[in-house]
């Protein structure tokens, strides 16, 4: 049974013949065609929606039947190119369409109990997340997020509170299963009393989720930079006193 499962996984990976960027564009473009085509409510509109569905399938599965027919494989070309670059940080599972996971951290000269409430209050997040315009929190753990206007991406999504340990960690999940896309922050007190290490974690899956593909556009080609900017801005607001626990 184990051998069969491994063979099945390998077959699924070998079926992927579309590169990551192509997959994102296919999924996003296909979603747009579906929405536009159905909105027209005409036979040509239905045809556009069907084309959009095919593009979404291409983006989600990473398999293109036209490429298969001519023996093309842009996913393999991308994998080889990344390996040739030396790929510090190159991961084999990412070439097969794995999720993107990024973590950055910063030390802030405050105890965890002074920092955690600032992240718990979602209305504070747009003050140090330049990718976020607003967050509206509901009473049942749900929240509604809107991307910032300067990002060039019109995006709104619903998230759920999936982890909440006061003064230690808080996480929000969205997408398929509620955890396909995750934004998480952890607070680790320095044992020498030098403040708190704030760790910001981001996960999204552009190959298997439309929201993940939108996150890829939202956070850019180097998501580490977006997280660094947010942490730097958070620390600046703390140091200057522009944001406090009472905020």
Residue-wise pLDDT for 212-241, tens only, equals 888 888 888 889 999 999 999 999 999 988
Flag whether the pTM goes above 0.75. no
Q: Report the alpha-carbon distance of residue 5 to residue 210 in Å, rounded.
A: 27
* CB atoms inside a 10 Å sphere around CB 81: 12
Which of 101-105, 137-141, 156-160 is predicted least confidently?
137-141
pLDDT band at 94 (very low <50, low <70, confident <90, very high): very low
**Structure confidence at residue 220 (pLDDT):** 83
**What integer best gives the mean pLDDT of the chain?**
79
**Structure confidence at residue 151 (pLDDT):** 66
Place of tokens 């049974």: 1
3-state secondary structure of 190: coil
pLDDT band at 244 (very low <50, low <70, confident <90, very high): low
> For residue 80, what are the CA distances in angstroms to 25, 76, 84, 230?
21, 6, 6, 33
Burial class (CB in 10 A: 0-12, 13-18, 19+), 20: buried
Domains and CATH numbers, the chain: 2-89 (no CATH), 99-240 (3.30.530.20)
Q: Report the alpha-carbon distance of residue 44 to residue 202 in Å, rounded.
A: 40
Which of 6-10, 62-66, 67-71 is predicted least confidently?
6-10
């Amino acid at each position: 049974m184990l051998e069969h499962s491994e063979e099945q996984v390998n077959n699924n990976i070998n079926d992927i013949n579309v590169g990551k960027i192509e997959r994102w564009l296919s999924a996003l473009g296909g979603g747009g065609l579906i929405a536009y085509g159905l909105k027209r409510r005409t036979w040509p509109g239905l045809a556009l929606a069907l084309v959009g569905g095919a593009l979404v399938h291409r983006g989600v599965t990473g398999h293109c039947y036209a490429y298969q027919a001519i023996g093309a494989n842009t996913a393999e070309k991308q994998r080889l190119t990344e390996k040739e670059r030396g790929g510090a940080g190159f991961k084999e599972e990412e070439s097969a369409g794995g999720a993107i996971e990024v973590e950055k951290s910063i030390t802030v000269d405050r105890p965890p109990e002074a920092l955690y409430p600032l992240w718990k209050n979602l209305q504070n997040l747009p003050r140090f997340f330049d990718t976020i315009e607003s967050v509206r929190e509901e009473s049942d753990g749900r929240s509604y997020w809107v991307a910032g206007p300067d990002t060039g991406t019109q995006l709104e999504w619903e998230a759920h509170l999936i982890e909440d340990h006061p003064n230690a960690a808080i996480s929000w999940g969205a997408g398929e299963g509620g955890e396909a896309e995750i934004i998480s922050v952890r607070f680790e007190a320095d044992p020498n009393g030098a403040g708190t290490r704030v760790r910001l974690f981001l996960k999204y899956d552009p190959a298997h989720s439309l929201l993940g593909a939108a996150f890829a556009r939202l956070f850019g080609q180097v998501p580490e930079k977006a997280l660094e900017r947010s942490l730097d801005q958070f620390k600046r607001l703390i140091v200057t006193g522009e944001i406090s626990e009472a905020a």
